A and B are shown apart, each in its own frame.
Chain A
Amino acid sequence: MKARIIDVGKYVPNLSISNEDFTKIMDTNNEWIVQRTGISSRHFSEINTSEMAYQAVLNLLENTKFNKEDIEIIIVCTCTPDAYSPSVANLVKKKLKLSKDIPSFDINAACSGFIYGLKVVQGLIESGLYQNIILVGSENLSKLLNFDDRSTAVLFGDGAGAILVQGSNQGIIDTLIYNKDDINGAINIPNGINIETPFTNNQCSGPAHIQMKGQDVFKFATKVCINMLKEIVVKNNLTFNDIKCIIPHQANLRIIEYAIKMLGINKDKFVITLESLGNTSSASIPIALDSIKKELKKGDKLIFVAFGGGLTYGVSLLEW
């Protein structure tokens, strides 16, 4: 039994913020941003992560005509939850008003979250435990941006993507997930809630903002992206000629272009959506998948590859 992606849905907020909009609030310009990132605009959400996830699931259910009562488990990948508890997945389930108490939970592997989620889904289906799983990547990153930091504020956008995964005779072939220690503190969303009790030596921390060391991220991301793509095709006795398309995590065009150059693969094989969406973390791969699903035929082989805070990284090879 394999885990097959049946269909995908998405939610992208209406509010589009252009590079020009950023020039009104900070010292930057369109050329600077486009040259370093490939990003021209991104969407910011006025609704939180769980509502975006819910909207993506509704879009998925509409696309598939799948009966929501047949969902057996809901998993949401996110590093930007509404709250510590309940989880985003709990909130999505509540919004769906299901008649049964099916399990739901979140996975946090930052921008690699969707690949980690696929690995869990793959295991749950291949083991025979579940047959109908909803996996969502949903992120409201704009709430974690430091609008005084021009190097990170322009990179991220909000959005959500959801997939229905069912047991089938074809589907996910192989998924590899890893975690490398972030020695240099390349990607962080530090702080959160302070320790403040009457009994402890309290240390107040600052606001929770995304912090990145761009050069460390570039080095990590390109190396693992190149190595994982090579690893998964070799491990499965394939070549890149056998792959219809590769969907990389949409972090930065320069990362993707460097990987393409070093791998010698035709750029047309890579799905790139970041120009108008920015980096939507764990939502970037399902949103990109949604953009090309009509071009896919049964049996096409795809690769998803992602890297992110943690430092997490992962790759998944599947048959459509």
Chain B
Amino acid sequence: MKEKIKGIIKDILDIEESDIKDDALIVDDLGADSIAVMEIVMEIEDEFDVEIDTETIPNFKTINDIVAYLEK
């Protein structure tokens, strides 16, 4: 799951996968703006067949946060 999420983030932010650490801050460290975050969420929704409420998105600071949410 984590590798798939990293792949999505890599493609959307156009960065090297090696730069994407599990605890990297998606906005502050990886440079995603609010729309890029939404793009990441929408691709995760498609990939994992889930519906993520936009109210939840501010909780997704790192990849670990996203994984924890999806594993619930």
Contact = CB atoms under 8 A, between A and B. Distances in A.
Interface string B24-47: 000000000111011101100000
Output the residue of B38, B41, B55 with the most chain A CB within 10 A.
Answer: B38
Kindly state the interface size class of chain B when it binds its partner. 10 to 19
Q: Is the interface of A mostly helix, strand, loop or mixed?
A: helix
Kindly state the interface size class of chain A when it binds its partner. 10 to 19
B39 A258 contact: yes
A219 B42 contact: yes
A254 B35 CA distance: 8
Contacts of B38: 214-215, 218-219
Output the residue of A36, A213, A218 with the most chain B CB within 10 A.
Answer: A218
Interface string A110-135: 00000000000000000000000000
B33 A219 contact: no
Given A222-B42, A258-B39, A216 B54 contact: yes
A184 interface: yes
Q: Is the interface of B mostly helix, strand, loop or mixed?
A: helix
A35 interface: yes
A254 B37 CA distance: 12
A36 B38 CA distance: 12
Interface in A208-235: 213-216, 218-219, 222
B57 A215 contact: yes
A184 B51 CA distance: 14
Output the residue of A35, A36, A214, A215 with the most chain B CB within 10 A.
Answer: A215
A254 B42 CA distance: 14
A185 B38 CA distance: 17
Nearest to B57: A215
* 4 nearest CB pairs, A to B: A215-B38, A218-B38, A215-B54, A254-B35
12 contacts: A35-B33, A184-B54, A214-B35, A214-B38, A215-B38, A215-B57, A218-B35, A219-B38, A219-B42, A222-B42, A254-B35, A258-B39
Interface of B: 33-35, 37-39, 41-42, 54-55, 57
